[in-house]
Chain A
Amino acid sequence: DAGVIQSPRHEVTEMGQEVTLRCKPISGHDYLFWYRQTMMRGLELLIYFNNNVPIDDSGMPEDRFSAKMPNASFSTLKIQPSEPRDSAVYFCASSPRTVRELSDTQYFGPGTRLTVL
Chain B
Amino acid sequence: AQKITQTQPGMFVQEKEAVTLDCTYDTSDQSYGLFWYKQPSSGEMIFLIYQGSYDEQNATEGRYSLNFQKARKSANLVISASQLGDSAMYFCAMREVGNDMRFGAGTRLTVKP
Contact = CB atoms under 8 A, between A and B. Distances in A.
A42 B31 CA distance: 25
If over half of A's interface residues share one DSSP class (helix, strand or loop), that class is named, otherwise mixed; here it is strand
A108 B43 CA distance: 10
B43 A113 contact: yes
B43 A110 contact: yes
Of the four ranges (under 10, 10 to 19, 20 to 34, 35 or more), the interface on chain B belongs to 20 to 34
A109 interface: yes
Contacts of A74: none
Given A43-B91, A100-B98, A105 B47 contact: yes
Nearest to A59: B100
Of the four ranges (under 10, 10 to 19, 20 to 34, 35 or more), the interface on chain A belongs to 20 to 34
Contacts of B45: 91, 93, 108, 111
A108 B35 contact: no
A45 B35 contact: no
Contacts of B71: none
B44 A42 contact: no
A45 B101 contact: yes
A18 interface: no
Nearest to B49: A105
Given A42-B106, A102-B32, A103-B52, A108 B100 contact: no
A48 B101 CA distance: 11
B42 interface: yes
A103 B43 contact: no
A106 interface: yes
Interface of A: 33, 42-43, 45, 48, 56, 89, 91, 93, 100, 102-111, 113
